[in-house]
Structure 1
Amino acid sequence: MASLQEIGLDPELFESAPGRASVVVRLPGQDPTRPALVLHGHLDVVPAQAEDWTVDPFAGEERDGMLWGRGAVDMKDMDAMILAVVRQMVREGRRPARDVIVAFFADEEAGGAFGARYLVDHEPHLFEGATEAVSEVGGFSVEVDGKRTYLLQTAEKGLAWLRLIADGRAGHGSQVNHDNAVTHLAEAIARIGAHRWPYVLTPTVDALLRGVADLTGLRFDAEDPEAIDALVAALGPAQKFVGATVRHTSNPTQLDAGYKANVIPGTASAAVDVRLLPGLEDEGMATLRELAGEHVRIEPIHQDISLEVPFSGDLVDAMVDAVQSEDPGATVLPYTLSGGTDNKSLARLGITGYGFAPLRLPPELDFSGMFHGVDERVPTDALLFGCRVLDRLMRTC
């Protein structure tokens, strides 16, 4: 709030719950008749265990040309770039090409119920006239066969945090019990955790891997898992994201059963983090129900949609041009995010979202691996690069 008020803007603060505050301000554009653009980031971060880190994860320490701290890549880097660009534009008396709605949301790491989703449901007028949005997680560079390549996010997988619940016959731990809820649950979790989902290339992933094939000379064959694996591996550290987008994923994450070693409980439950490919959600959920089996029911903890939009159009052209103006000769390719963003909430208003937090990164930096990881950090010169790219984008899009 203060950073925006200091330059004469009048942002609005929305606190949907204690400690869950979002900030929104609208910048008038040169052409107010054009549809508005939403430029957004989330303010929350995931927890961090200080003893696991080289530095204090919440100190924001600058060391060896890097800014260290929880949220450095997810996504205080983008928040900082947005603030820097907006403050400079306003101070210099410049306007973006069209109206830009700048939004800093709460709660994204918990699904956005008290952040982007809350504002979309309760304050939709804030986004009136907006048709497109830009946020995380895309626009960062990777090296493909020695060629710097920027991954622009045009899709993200669907989200399903699911509760698996097994019911059985409670009883004494010494007795024979063939209707044991823990056994039913364990068998279901083992099947789901071990299931090898088949490879399916959605349009965005197909376009990305064809682009990688062009850059490397590797063979593209959508029906050959080994060829797909080779193309994914060519993306270096980014394969952590991309490798999870050639198929559904389902990872058991929590277990809960019983209250005493010699008591067979009547109920056992588990949580599973499922990410589903765009357009294939129903098929994925049907398979999960089969894997869970007859003794286990599935209930949603939190679910949200997948997104996939074309790698084309005026905004995409402007993003590509903004990157290549600052890094001539670079390649820009579309990709699918294995996680999710607040663009899911904005899509409920018909707003098309892209991931574009531009960063020119050293090829040896495991950027993808630092999302929710230890020793999260981002190069300071990458932040300066991103500010230049975002400034150009706001002037031209």
Structure 2
Amino acid sequence: MRLKPLLPALAVLASTVLALPAIAADTSGTGEPAFRALYKELVETNTAPGEGSCTLAAQRMQARLKAAGYTDADIHLFIPDSAPKDGGIVAVLRGTGSKKKAILLLAHIDVVAAKRSDWTRDPFTLIEEGGYFYGRGTSDDKAQAAIWTDLLIRLKQEGYRPKRDIKMALTCGEETEGVFNGAHWLSTEHKDWIDADFALNEGANGQLDETGRKIALNIEAAEKVYQDFKLETTNPGGHSSRPVPENAIYQMSTALPKIGALEFPVMLNDATRAYFTRMAPIVGGESGAAMLAIVKNPMDSAANAILSKNPQWHSMLRTTCVATLIEGGHALNALPQHVSANVNCRIFPGVSVDDVQAALVRAVADPAVKVSVVEPRSLATPAPALGPDILGPIEKVSAELWPGVPVVPTMTTGATDGIYTSAAGIPTYGVEGLFVDPDEGHIHGLNERVGVQSLMDARRFMYRLVKLYAAQ
């Protein structure tokens, strides 16, 4: 893809540098006032699809990095020709020449749309109230984007020289289908900018109970692959006054319950084995015992039945497929000529799209129902290995900050931009250090929020963690 010349962007950048907000004096020595100012600027830069601009947010982060001493050689600001509002930024703090490849810090800066009339507060004004920050993107994912940018600035100001390069990529397009996705573009067109030994990304939070007690720090070590399939039935049609047995609606209505009854086999990987093993003593009781049993024997039907009562655990144990949309017919007084349905599958890492399609065809068992693949969203990549070189530093820093809180690897049943970097050969892990309430901070919903102390603790966690990795 050809990128737009950056002269207009640099003009905006120059004005942005001059407009950087004043920063309160820091008497703590932690840089928290500067971080709060950066976070506020990022949250208050509207990056929702259509009305907002990721490019402006990237330019503002570039201005801060350059003010801290990063040069043009350290920064790639990219603005797609086809989507001038969907730009992003890659920056690097260069190491001293370790043979180990870089660490990549990945975050998306686009957010889900938010209507002011629906919110209690202005979604694009950062508001601190009752121990929380409110605003669209306060958690997903501008918390991490702000922490990464602040981290690079702090390390530069400290004169810190890591053994290995530390790279950062802030991208657009994660929240919206069918738009320019910066992580995908970088992974396929400019992998050299982001190439790394591994990447840290969003994907898993720490869990709080209803009283605010920390239950576990989750680490995303795998994620499912999103894939849609289209089911279609066609028929010659005719006048509704002369019905015939072959009816496209009836054929589809027979096929869909078979999809609903389709149960894929139990599968485990490093992430889910660790999850069920470490969650068993936390959950306890019958479910805890079932977790240990399924790890010991994935074919244990009794354990499977117990765990599958929980929709999250059921989904973590297998590929799942579900009908999500249906449309058909063309007139009230005519026999239907065409009916289609969308079946959304979340595929267990390492399982091929072709195998899932074949399973759907076998389940339907009707040649009159065509099953096709909707444009693939991502490659079916295996889960990255979760060795002590990755998990050890996380456990060390977590024990220092939150003694007694278990670190629990997990597999997200959704998807992040990690699907693209992992497919490009950069193992990607969801590590945030951000503890959230049981309501998950209303992510994607109204009045999104994050705990102020939780955000500051996550900043401390990431600062220590990245330094440990950088010193390897």
TM-score (norm. length: structure 1): 0.86
Q: 2:315 aligns to what SS in structure 1?
A: coil
Question: In structure 2, what is the Cα distance between the partners aligned to 1:164 and 1:95?
Answer: 55
The answer to whether the Cα contact below 8 Å between 1:41 and 1:104 also exists between their aligned partners in 2 is yes
Percent same amino acid among aligned pairs? 27
Residue number in structure 1 paired with 2:335:
264
Distance 1:299 1:231, change over 3 A: closer
Task: Give the distance between the partners of 2:407 and 2:398, measured in 1 at CA.
Answer: 8
TM-fit CA distance, 1:289: 1.9
| Equivalent residue for 2:425, pick from 350, 356, 363 | 350
Q: How far 1:274 sits from its partner (Å)?
A: 0.6
* Deviation for aligned residue 1:61: 3.2
Counterpart for residue 176 of structure 1 = 243
Identify the structure with bigger relative contact order (alpha carbons < 8 Å, sequence gap 6+): 1
Partner of residue 291 from structure 1, selected from 363, 378, 390: 363
CA distance in 1, matches of 2:130, 2:308: 31
Superposed, 1:45-194 pairs within 5 Å as 45-48=111-114, 53-110=119-176, 114-128=181-195, 130-142=196-208, 148-194=215-261
**Which 10-residue stretch deviates more, 333-342 or 370-379?**
370-379
The one-character-per-residue Cα deviations of 1:38-78 (angstroms, maximum 9, x if unpaired) are 10111222334555544444444333222223333322221
Instruction: Please give the alpha-carbon distance, in whole angstroms, between the structure 2 residues aligned to 1:190 and 1:211.
Output: 36
Q: Distance in 1 between matches of 2:273 and 2:127?
A: 40
Tell me whether 1:329 sits opposite 2:404 in the alignment: yes
Measured in 2, the distance between the counterparts of 1:52 and 1:306 equals 39
Cα distance in 1 for partners of 2:121, 2:464 equals 34
Provide the C-alpha distance between the structure 2 equivalents of 1:171 and 1:77, rounded to a whole number of angstroms: 57
In structure 2, the CA distance between the partners of 1:245 and 1:296, relative to structure 1 (3 Å rule), is same
Which position in structure 2 is the counterpart of 1:366?
A: 439
Secondary structure in 1 aligned to 2:79?
strand
Residue of 88, 91, 94 corresponding to 1:22: 88
Unaligned ranges ≥5, structure 2:
1-58
Q: Which has the larger radius of gyration?
A: 2
Please, which of 359, 362, 377 is the counterpart of residue 303 of structure 1?
A: 377
- Separation in 1 of the partners of 2:255 and 2:180? 29
2:447 equivalent to 1:375: yes
**Cα shift readout 1:313-342 (whole Å, capped 9, x = no counterpart):** 323212222222221222112111101222
Instruction: Name the count of aligned residue pairs.
Output: 388
SS at match of 1:294: coil
What letter matches 2:173 in structure 1? D
Q: Taking structure 1 as reference, are residues 193 and 319 closer, same or farther at Cα in structure 2, changes over 3 Å only?
A: same
SS at match of 1:303: coil
Verify: 1:4 aligned to 2:62, yes or no.
Answer: yes
| Letter in structure 1 aligned against 2:194 | F
Contact preservation (8 Å) 1:159, 1:306: no
CA pair 275-63 structure 1, distance change in 2 beyond 3 A: same
1:87/1:186 CA distance change after superposition, 3 Å: farther
| Structure 1 stretches lacking a partner, 5+ long | 234-238
Per-residue CA deviations over 1:125-173 (Å, capped at 9, x if unaligned) read 2124x121110112523569x7732111111112212222222223223
**How big is each residue's C-alpha offset from its partner over 1:212-243, in whole Å with a ceiling of 9 and x where there is no partner?**
2244543121145664576789xxxxx76544
* Normalised TM-score (structure 2): 0.73
1:159/1:275 contact within 8 Å kept: yes
Which structure has the highest strand share of the two? Answer: 1
Contact 2:186 2:194 in 1 (8 A): no
Secondary structure in structure 2 of the residue aligned to 1:149: strand
1:221–1:227 CA contact under 8 A, matched in 2: yes
1:174 Cα deviation from its structure 2 partner: 2.9
